[in-house]
Structure 1
Amino acid sequence: MLSRLAQSFRPKADKYAASPQRRDSHFHNPVPRPSQAAGATLRIIWNALFNKPTGTQPDAPLPVRPLTRIELDAAPDRSLYRLGHSTMLMKLRGGYWLTDPVFAERASPFQWMGPKRFHQPPIALHDLPPIRGVILSHDHYDHLDRSTVQYLAATTDVFLTPLGVGDRLIEWGVDAAKVHQLDWWESIEIDGLRMTAAPAQHFSGRTPFDGNTTLWVSWAIFDDELRVFFSGDTGYFDGFKTIGERLGPFDITLMETGAYDAQWPYVHMQPEQTVQAHQDLRGRWMVPIHNGTFDLAMHRWQEPFERVVLLAIERDIPLATPRMGERMDLAAPRTGERWWRNVDAASDFHWESATSLRKMY
């Protein structure tokens, strides 16, 4: 199976040689990733597979608000809907834009194993309106789902991807004319919107054989005076300050807040770092994403929400936490309810004493 997956993507060694991020047929972060002993890597994998603590998955259904095509068609411009994990549906200038669409049951190369969804998407894939554009941050399975992309290929006008990721889409059957691949700091304008691929500190790959052969990015989205930042996946790095200086300030930041662990700080942020990154970006409202859908770490599934809420209160940062499927007005966000606190009624994790989390980290 793995050899077949590896054969499905053969990078062209010289195609992206001009990219400042590329050396030796691979993409690199500005600061090299710290080396890790093979034994430590195996321990992380072992613990993630066989030594999970309790509470990493909800014990009861999540409060998902169902969406309909009629509702979406009637929604005003600058509406945003969180569909799960890092999949966001935005309506801008009459067109619908999807970030990192994953509608699959599992974030995995296999249908029979791997992280399974906590909830179904608020709207079925076949009920979505035609999509003006898909915006992809990188090629990991919880951000790039082949079956979803292949379904959307016929109903989507454009696919915006980091370098190399678009090649995968073309191999999967997406019309090459629809695919636009961008390097860091490159921009594209569509329907008066400007999308800029910004740096991130992460990695890529879908098999053991193709690591870092495609690029990873964050995105800045501009609709006249409205500025939205989508983090994709990233560790904390000084690039956030540079992005804030060059492209900010941002009205809304959609920030990775979840799937973190002290064992992999280079590629995912702790909530304290997420909030600092938001401040570096000169963001106003923050929306924590990359949580609430898949079990991808060792923390309790609710923990990212609660830690970031405490930090936002402490630093006087407006924080929006919409339920899956709930409409958020990008022009006038609101805080929303702390919906995750009502899910595990029998849980031994009591949110009234959640301030103790600040002592834990």
Structure 2
Amino acid sequence: MILLKKIAKTILIIIFVIVVIAVLFMKLWQPFGQGINDNDKKLYSEKTELFYDGTFHGNPEISVMNESKSEFSDHEQTVPKDKIPIHQLDSIPNTSDDDLKWVWFGHSSSMLQMQGLNILIDPAFSEYASPMQGFGAKRFSDLPISKENLPVIDVLVISHDHYDHLDYGTIKDIDDKVKSYCVPLGVEKHLIRFGVDENKIHSMAWWDEVKIGGLTITSTPGRHYTGRLPWQTNTTLWSGYVFQNEKYKAYYTGDTGYGEHFKEIYEKFGAMDFVILEDGQYDKSWEAIHLLPEQGIQAMKDLQAKWIVPVHWGTFSLSYHAWDDPIRQMTALAQKENMNVATPRIGEIVDYDNIQQFQEKWWEDIE
């Protein structure tokens, strides 16, 4: 009996030590980001009616998961066997005020060039979309440019705080190139924890505007959720962005399910010249928070989009569909609807004046 008591006591001590270490790890490991405090909660509730009871809420409220069964089998090739062909870049040239150019880095990471500004969107350049490298979804396409060769970033925008969109390693490596950040409410806490100067950060509620050098950036609604730790769900906001100058209107959807917000964006801004559309990592069981291809087509109609480029695919596998299912479905559906979809390779610089040239179905040659 005495021996059993000693064993039980030892086990309890070991469990206690493990719990303490785990808690300390969660608090001290910078990539997890930073939670919000009571002052933040008061500020957010003053800035938006979407924040109450300690979290942000959708409009309308959504359920992240539903009871639908996945339409994809376990045999889908979620990662290609072959290397994805990319266009390697030594540099990204500056542009003029009249240009609209865009380059895709894979997944949702890209650079939009408008008004002579370099706008970096959701850069996730690490090997894994994870708080700890070596775990989680692994990159299966190469970066087209080294982080060292990126130009000065006038604005870095983040749509939400999931690891495939807000990447600690990338922020740490390129922050000295970044002049300013535009992020949804709450995400500023993560950036400050990462070491970013808070004076560079614009924290935005939906429909807030920031004007930079002749370009207006507006935070727009979406249907998604957030969180870098299970007990911090929706303590930060999620959003898309509209970029507008006197010549062009461009829109990045961010991660979102289909909803009335696309029509609202059209009503506020008019027809979109260029849409960076989420298209990938979807499933019927979570269609409330990610666009299925046919819903992406409907979003194009709602926005009266002249051209779209599909993103959120081609780099990280986070769903059950084949790695190229998003682009195959999107291009086929768009052709039936007589809608314009550009399909550049990762690393190709798309000039909006010649966007119709980017129609290669390069994924068809990859196993």
Same fold (TM over 0.5): yes
**Structure 1 match to 2:51:** 22
CA RMSD of aligned residues (A): 2.1
Over 6 Å off, 4+ runs: none
**Maintained 8 Å contact 1:228/1:252:** yes
Letter in 2 for 1:295: S
Following the alignment from structure 1 to structure 2, what is the Cα–Cα distance between the partners of residues 291 and 88?
12
**Structure 1 match to 2:222:** 200
**Maintained 8 Å contact 2:64/2:288:** no
Sequence identity percentage: 34
**Structure 1 match to 2:327:** 305
Pick the aligned partner of 1:5 from 26, 37, 42.
26
**Structure 2 match to 1:63:** 85
**Structure 2 match to 1:31:** 60
**1:91-102 alignment to 2 at 5 Å?**
91-102=113-124
**Maintained 8 Å contact 1:226/1:331:** no
* Structure 2 unpaired stretches of 5+: 1-20
Following the alignment from structure 1 to structure 2, what is the Cα–Cα distance between the partners of residues 156 and 188?
16
1:87 aligns with 2:95: no
| Deviation readout 1:180-217 (Å, 9 max, x if unpaired) | 01100111100100000000000000011110000000
Following the alignment from structure 1 to structure 2, what is the Cα–Cα distance between the partners of residues 225 and 338?
30
Find the residue that maps to 2:180 and give its secondary structure: strand
Find the residue that maps to 2:263 and give its secondary structure: helix
Letter in 2 for 1:198: T
**Structure of larger gyration radius:** 2
Shift of 1:172: 1.0
Following the alignment from structure 1 to structure 2, what is the Cα–Cα distance between the partners of residues 6 and 220?
35
TM-score (norm 2): 0.87
Shift of 1:313: 0.7
**Structure 2 match to 1:355:** none
Shift of 1:74: 5.7
Find the residue that maps to 2:231 and give its secondary structure: coil
* Structure 1 unpaired stretches of 5+: 345-361
**Maintained 8 Å contact 2:220/2:265:** yes
**Structure 1 match to 2:93:** 73
Shift of 1:281: 1.3
**Maintained 8 Å contact 2:86/2:345:** yes
Segment drifting more, 192-201 vs 107-116 = 107-116
TM-score (norm 1): 0.88
Letter in 2 for 1:33: I
Letter in 2 for 1:73: P
**Structure 1 match to 2:359:** 336
Letter in 1 for 2:206: W
Following the alignment from structure 2 to structure 1, what is the Cα–Cα distance between the partners of residues 333 and 169?
37
1:94 to 1:34, Cα distance in 2 relative to 1, 3 A: closer
| Deviation readout 1:304-343 (Å, 9 max, x if unpaired) | 1010011101111011010000111124412420111111
| Deviation readout 1:86-129 (Å, 9 max, x if unpaired) | 11112223331100001100111121111111111100111111
Shift of 1:291: 0.6
Following the alignment from structure 2 to structure 1, what is the Cα–Cα distance between the partners of residues 59 and 320?
28
**Structure 1 match to 2:256:** 234
1:114 aligns with 2:136: yes
Shift of 1:53: 2.9
**Structure 1 match to 2:232:** 210
Q: Which has the higher helix share?
A: 2
**Maintained 8 Å contact 2:64/2:289:** no
Segment drifting more, 9-18 vs 95-104 = 9-18
Segment drifting more, 133-142 vs 76-85 = 76-85
| Deviation readout 1:143-179 (Å, 9 max, x if unpaired) | 0101111222211000000001112101211011100
Letter in 1 for 2:26: L
Aligned residues between the structures: 335
1:243 to 1:2, Cα distance in 2 relative to 1, 3 A: farther
